Amino acid sequence: MDSLPPLDELLATAHVVSLPLTTQFRGITQREAVIFIGPEGATEFSPFTEYQDAEAATWLRAGIEFGWGELPQLFRDSIRVNATMPAVEVAQVETVLARYDGCRTVKVKVAEQGQSLDDDVARVAEVRRLMGPEGRVRLDANGGWNVDEAEHAIRTLSECDIEYVEQPCATVDELADVRKRVKYMGIPIAADESVRKASDPLEVATANAADLLIVKAQPLGGITRALDIVRVAGLPVTVSSALDTSVGLALGAHLAAAVPELPYDCGLGTASLLAADVTDKPLVARNGAIDVRRVDVSERMLRDYAAPPERDEWWRDRIRRCYALL
């Protein structure tokens, strides 16, 4: 979009919420987010609290675009989504999967700090058992392995028929090395952090370091910028989220609907990890898919899950700082 709404307008429409999770995820049990009410509808600003302002400002740009800008051409009105399996114990796997109605794909978190490869093998094997031979199982290491660990882990976990491995290592050079080492297994390598947290999100593609890209609307600065990256990269993509509320997932769903080719189920089913949301009609999976629609927020839920005053002010200060960077 060409211009920004006034800062005072943003702050006047801002609602800071703190939502409980059904299980610990990324080391947190509460998800904080800001919901804005723009002229085009509700939108979201929810970079994780540890992110610095320069990175968080990109998320703010995305939220502003969705609430104050125009949507691109859309190619579909529903998006098939994957279930997300946190790094839980095996006994919890079936309970987590039960929250995702009809999903044929599961993304399993692996390489969790404090856990072992044996823990990963047990969790992934249980997911494969429950999904059956026709289910799709993908892994997400969040850059938690070095190259040798990644090669060993992927070889070990390949017995569970893996769709692809997301961000096995932290750097682009490491991804390229792992991709070469595991190519004979026929398991694709996907890049996430190496796209959304990189100064050059196209470096992965130019370095032949991945077979597909994970794109997320907020971290990449909005739908328009994300679509530009998809177009120039020329690789298949999975559209994913960052533990957003249903408002943020609506933003992701509109990005997914605007991508011409979408061969993989998308990581936009994470509302099932929230014990509460900001709407009476959350974007949770139904028959393995979510609708592409704007989300109407609930004034009651915004009030019931309002963040404490000190957290509200923390987020408002963050908005002011990030706005100044745009």
In the annotated binding site for Mg(2+), the residues are 140, 166, 192
DSSP one-letter string for 74-119: -S-SEEEB-EEE-S--HHHHHHHHTTSTT--EEEEE-S-TT--HHH
Is residue 95 exposed (0-12), middle (13-18) or buried (19+ Cβ within 10 Å)?
exposed
Q: Which two tokens stand for residue 81?
A: 């989504």
Query: Can you say which residues are annotated as belonging to the binding site?
Result: 140, 166, 192
First-to-last alpha carbon distance for the chain, in angstroms, is 12
Per the annotation, the verdict on 109 as an active-site residue is: yes
Distance CA 160, CA 124 (A): 7
Per the annotation, the verdict on 180 as an active-site residue is: no
The catalytically annotated residue of 107, 180, 197, 216 is: 216
Contact 44, 19 (CB under 8 A): no
Exposure string of 34-60, with b = 16+ CB inside 10 Å and e = fewer, is bbbbbeebbbbbbbeeebeeebbbbbb
Distance CA 312, CA 321 (A): 15
Q: How many CB atoms lie within 10 A of CB 179?
A: 22
The catalytically annotated residue of 107, 109, 197, 281 is: 109
Could you list the active site residues?
Answer: 109, 216
